[in-house]
Amino acid sequence: MTSVPESTTPVPESTTPVPESPPSLSDSSMQPFEILETPNIKKVKLKLDKTMDTKLNRLRNKFVFGTCIVDFHHVRGPEIEYWIDDTTTEDNEMLKIQHFTKVWAQLPFQALPDGAHLFEETFSNFTLIYDDIEDGCPKLPIDKEDDIELVDGEVKAAEIGEPNKGLTTLFGCACIRQLDMDRLKQEGKTLHRAVGQEEFTRSVIQKSVVVITRYPITIQLKEQLSIITKSYFDQLNFADKGIIKALYDNVSLVYNSHGYRIEDDDLYEGVNDNPSGSTKIIRESDFYIGLNLKELVTKLGRKLLMVYKALLLEQRVLIFCKDLNTLSNIQYSLLSLIPNLLMNLSDCGSPLLDKLSYKLQTPTSLKSSDRGSMLRFVGMPLKLFDKGGFFQPFITLQQLDYLVNKNTQWFLVGTSNDILLERKKEWFDMILYINENDSSFPTEAASAMDFIFKDPEVKLEILSKDLKDWITLTSQDKQFIDYVMNEVSKGQKTTKKETRVEPASSKMLNSNALDIGSYNGGDDFIRYQFEDYLIGMLSTIKYDQFLSANKDNLQTLSYLNLNQFEDQVTEFNSRFIDRYMQTQNFKLFEKYTEDELFNFFEPCHVGTVLIRRARENASSSAKARLRGLFSGWKKVEVTREKK
């Protein structure tokens, strides 16, 4: 990371910059925009800049970007109190605080969000946009940027530098705690104060410790963050930042000192394949541990598949929940249902980014024993947050311009703030409300949800008539999601009895190491089912396109046995498929995958397979009952003859 200039004058604590105030909901700049159906697309070639590429690779070779403390000041509100990264020294610490307060005005509000005071400990997850070259965060342009199409070979086109070359997405995780001053007095304890520090006048001290990383935080780091934050509060001396510095030094040693590498699980053969002093290996499964897909299925039921299809359709989706832990877990769990997506979110923080699509190429080989090779061949992960879309697990009022910017066409965002609901019909296509209705949920938060909920824990509000038609579930869809729900329910009952359950596996792909320890109804099982659903759908679309392109040669296809599959595209909902084929993520999938993908992955709806299997089982059961019935009659006849 580019260091902050040493010549900059530190800002005294009393003049700490106050983050920009949120825009008014009645501001004309917040009015809904019209999405252009036919954007201006420029054909271009990208100039190579190996020097800058090398610099960026060096800057981005550290998994942990930095750590900070955010404090709630009784006058100025949330603010960055402390910052440490690899270039922080005693001399430039105040400069760092000033710099990153300016870079990310919304960070303090993401790290101490609305509703955080209701919990003794909670977590907030969010994304941050950062320019590694400029060491800053540019604002979204007011006007819509032109779309570009990369060309190569002999095609004539203008050569340009890579747009937004230094921009990338960082991921913040804040562990939020509070300290009740009245409780301290009752216990006969007092807070230690530094020399010259003003006396604590608030009844509650609220702070968060934030770790900022280049990928979504792993469960190992999150647990470490929780332990350190609790210890920081327990020492009753907030002026002593030694334990926070020790946290950063430790994670920097593990994740930054020798670089890191993200890899699929099935590339590993040994348990101890990351010896001391070597590159830090972060596995695919590290991003899944800590998510709760079983709870996702149990809570949402059939609504889960409707939200899933809305995400595929690149809609404007809001998740609303007062429980910050649940809010982020629901969103990351949803994204984990797209194979390998959590490992490829560097473009998700801004609607301007589409760098991952620059590197796409049609695979020329397929290794069936390698899960990663299979996923790449089938076009995974889908680019759900390519140019025009963004993901923000917790969006603040300071970021409302992202929702209505002309460059924004779709998104997945989360909030616990009721204010965003005031313009819901203009800003969102779908809202998923989650109500944590249990005894541990604070009374104040529960009462705040009464205006939405009466009985159900989950409410799905679809604000677009077209979307209702697009995501209506077919009978095959219902069969699929009901099967997943039933297996999760059975798995929970079986687990309670502590009896052995059947291992889960993906029908479409070789799952290799991912199968170890998984079982029907478990999180891996759920991911496999959605993986099969998605790949089956994509293969079915390819097959339908193949049949349409060869509709005048059906006899030839039949003779060559090239149309041996049933065309099941309507079983996914024809209106959904028609709309899906207009999305950006499908266009990229279509461009960079084999036209005859159906020869490698069966073009079928998982629900159809389940229905067929159920009928076969029912038929077998009926035959068995008939055999038993006739067998009984024979025994009766034999008995009569003996008499």
Q: What per-residue confidence (pLDDT) applies to 41? A: 72
What percent of the chain has pLDDT above 70? 77
pLDDT at 10 > cutoff 80: no
Q: What per-residue confidence (pLDDT) applies to 13? A: 45
Amino acid symbol at 596: E
Rounded to the nearest 10 degrees, the angle between the axes of helix 475-497 and helix 303-312 is: 120
Q: What per-residue confidence (pLDDT) applies to 553? A: 81
| Comparison of pLDDT for 269 and 30, the residue scoring more | 30
Q: What is the pLDDT of residues 48-62, one digit of tens each?
A: 778 888 888 888 899
Q: What per-residue confidence (pLDDT) applies to 426? A: 96
- Which residue has tokens 């989950």? 458
Q: What per-residue confidence (pLDDT) applies to 494? A: 64
Strands 147-150 and 41-46, sheet pairing = parallel
Cα-Cα-Cα-Cα torsion 380, 382, 383, 385, nearest 10 degrees, comes to -130
Q: Which of 2-11, 31-40, 93-102, 305-314 comes out lowest in average pLDDT?
A: 2-11
Strands 147-150 and 121-131, sheet pairing = unpaired
CA distances from 41 to 111, 146, 165, 531, 570 (A): 38, 6, 19, 33, 32
Q: Which of 188-197, 285-294, 357-366, 600-609 comes out lowest in average pLDDT?
A: 188-197
pLDDT at 466 > cutoff 70: yes
pLDDT band with cut points at 50, 70 and 90 for residue 24: low
Q: What is the pLDDT of residues 495-525, one digit of tens each?
A: 555 544 555 556 666 543 334 445 678 999 9
pTM above 0.95, yes or no: no
CA angle 465, 329, 482 (to 5 degrees): 60
Q: What is the pLDDT of residues 572-624, one digit of tens each?
A: 999 999 999 999 999 999 999 999 999 999 999 999 988 888 777 665 555 55
pLDDT band with cut points at 50, 70 and 90 for residue 73: confident
Sequential DSSP letters for 308-372: HHHHHTT-EEEEEES-HHHHHHHHHHHHTTSTTGGG--TTTT-TT--HHHHT--------TT-HH
Helices (H) and strands (E) in the chain, counts: 21, 15
Q: What per-residue confidence (pLDDT) applies to 149? A: 73
Q: Which of 65-79, 298-312, 313-327, 453-467 comes out lowest in average pLDDT?
A: 453-467
